[in-house]
Every structure is written in structure tokens, then in C-alpha cells.
Structure 1
């Protein structure tokens, strides 16, 4: 997959340029320029709005958690997909604009976020099953819900032998540097 990724990106860029030249030939260069500027402005607006909403949700969740209330999980969601849609709108090209506009449709965002979450959890379970005690286990432990919400994970280390003291010094004698 990673071997063909640069080739796919180059193919996508060539297709974008070809489509822009076809549209410019069918209408005019001014129309293509206006489409590109419109995508830039709309994408910037979408990213700015989604960023504000994400920051507002984060600050609200922090405020609720500090007051002792368990923050509710947002039902709408989709901030990351909205930002990705805005980024695709900003990128010059008609295919990326079409994909960006599709990512702004809420039902499609829900479907994509659910499928991405399921795929992520499958990968996590596969990683945890392959090697218990690895990073996948840590992610799974972080997702566990506890009723009081106060979990401190740590490790207790017991020393087998008490520290040894030099026999010439008493228990309260300070050691002098040598």
C-alpha cells in the first residue's frame, strides 16, 4: 500500500490539472479562477467554524469535568471530518472540492465516523491479541470506564534489601564527602 501511495498522489494531481484544463476550455479561465477562489474561501470558513465548535465543546467538557460532572459524549460529532472537508475545499482542484463538499453532508459524516471507529477498534483488538501488554493494551485500558472516574495507574516497586550503612557510622551520623 505504501509503495503505491506516491504514484496515487501523482495520478490524482495529474487528474486534477487535466480536469481544470477541461473546464477552462469549456468555459473560460476566469470561471476556473473563481471556482478555485470560491473553494478557498468556503474551505477557510468551514475550518474556522469547525475549529470554534471543537474548541467550545472542549472547553465545555473541561468545565463540566472540573465541576465534578461527567461530560456527555457529543452526539453530533464530526468536527474532524468537517475540518477534513474544509481542507479538501481549500486544496485547488475540482475533485478535492467535490470530496470536501461530500464530507460536509451530516449523514455521510455519521456513516464515515462509525466505520472509522469500528475499523480503529478492530485494529486495536488485533494488536492487543497479537501481543498482550503492548501499546494496544494501553489504549484499551484508557478506554475503560470507571464509576468514580478516578483511576491512577502505576506500579509498586518493593525493595528486597534495606540500604546498607557503613559500620563505622552510626544510624544518625551524616556521611562526610571524601
Structure 2
């Protein structure tokens, strides 16, 4: 008896193979650079660089978190007033994720992660990365097969609600017909749905 399920081992994606190697190479490079700085400027300088990166990263993450919380509360207030993000003059999807990532990179001990965090704090770099990530995500979601999470995400993006409430009633047509001696379907008038 065959079940139609393939028993062949799945191939590992190149990203899953190369990611651990890239992380290991990055850690070795960070340790090597810190040892070079310690040899040239002393251990106290390295300790100050690491402590400064941690403090700067914490400040960046705290400010981005406050800004994200403020945007969230403003969005809730606009939704309660019946306004969309476009009516308030803000673009939808305006977030602080890359700024928080920059703060995380700054908090990691190492010079390469600090340089990456400082680069992410620059607005042109953030805009470029955001555009590329959005395009990549849209391409992946558009290529998703039907019935997957990517397909559902794509359908949700196509049919974005505009905030308008449409009053109506759900009529189920899959109910069985009443048998002999049973009452017929309820034909009474129902009030429209409200929020």
C-alpha cells in the first residue's frame, strides 16, 4: 500500500548550511579584531569600547521602543476616531524594527557588529534595506503556493480593509431542508449588525 508521501530525505537549503559557518567566521573575526585593538591600545580601551557600545545600543533600543509604543497608541486613537493612517498624514508600515536591530548590533560585543549598528542608524541605509526587504518579501509571498501562509498573507494584502463597516447578514445555504413534521427556516426579520 502506498501513501503518496515521499520518503526521500529532504535537501538542506544552502542558507541553512552556510549560516552556521558564517556565524562562526564572524565570531572568530570579532575576537581577532578585539585582540588586535587590545594589543595596540590596551585592554582598558577594549573594555571601554564594549561598555560604550552596550550603553549606546541600550539608548537606541529604548528610544526606538518608545517611538514604536507612541506610534501604536496613536494608531489605536486614530482607529477609535475612524481615521486611517493615510488621513493622519503617516505612511502605513512606518516602523522602528531596523533601529532596534541597530541597537542590538551595538550591544553585541565586537567591532564589526558596532560598525553594522552604526550603519543601520543612517537613514539612507535604513531606507535601502527596508526597500530591498519589502521587495524580497513581496516576491516570496507572490510565489507562495495556494493554501500556505504566504498565500493567505498575499490575499490579505490584496483585500485590505478600508475601515468601512458594511452592514449585512450571513445566510447559510448549506442547511438541510426541513423534514416532515419539522418547522421551516426562520424567515423573521433580523436587525442589521452593528459594531
Instruction: State the match for 1:12 in structure 2.
Output: 26
What's the offset of the Cα at 1:138? 1.5
Instruction: State the match for 1:80 in structure 2.
Output: 97
In the alignment, which of 114, 132, 135 is matched to residue 118 of structure 1? 135
User: 2:111 matched to 1:97?
Assistant: no
User: 2:81 matched to 1:32?
Assistant: no
What's the offset of the Cα at 1:142? 1.8
Instruction: State the match for 2:148 in structure 1.
Output: 134
Secondary structure at the aligned position of 1:74 is classed as coil
CA contact (8 A) 1:78 1:109 kept: no
What's the offset of the Cα at 1:137? 2.7
Q: Distance in 1 between matches of 2:173 and 2:148?
A: 20
CA contact (8 A) 2:98 2:120 kept: yes
CA contact (8 A) 1:47 1:82 kept: yes
Instruction: State the match for 2:10 in structure 1.
Output: none
Instruction: State the match for 1:160 in structure 2.
Output: 176
For structure 2, list consecutive stretches of 5 or more residues without a partner in the other structure: 1-14, 184-195
Secondary structure at the aligned position of 1:2 is classed as helix
| CA RMSD of superposed structures (Å) | 2.7
Q: Distance in 2 between matches of 1:157 and 1:26?
A: 80
TM-score of the superposed pair, with normalisation by structure 2? 0.74
Q: Distance in 2 between matches of 1:113 and 1:155?
A: 44
TM-score of the superposed pair, with normalisation by structure 1? 0.81
Instruction: State the match for 2:56 in structure 1.
Output: 42
| Segments ≥4 residues shifted beyond 6 Å | none
User: 2:72 matched to 1:55?
Assistant: no
User: 2:168 matched to 1:145?
Assistant: no
For the structure 1 residues 159 and 42, does the alpha-carbon distance in structure 2 shift closer, same or farther, using more than 3 Å as the test? same
Q: Distance in 1 between matches of 2:180 and 2:55?
A: 72
CA contact (8 A) 1:78 1:110 kept: no
Q: Distance in 1 between matches of 2:48 and 2:27?
A: 20
Instruction: State the match for 1:2 in structure 2.
Output: 16
For structure 1, list consecutive stretches of 5 or more residues without a partner in the other structure: 172-178
What's the offset of the Cα at 1:150? 4.0
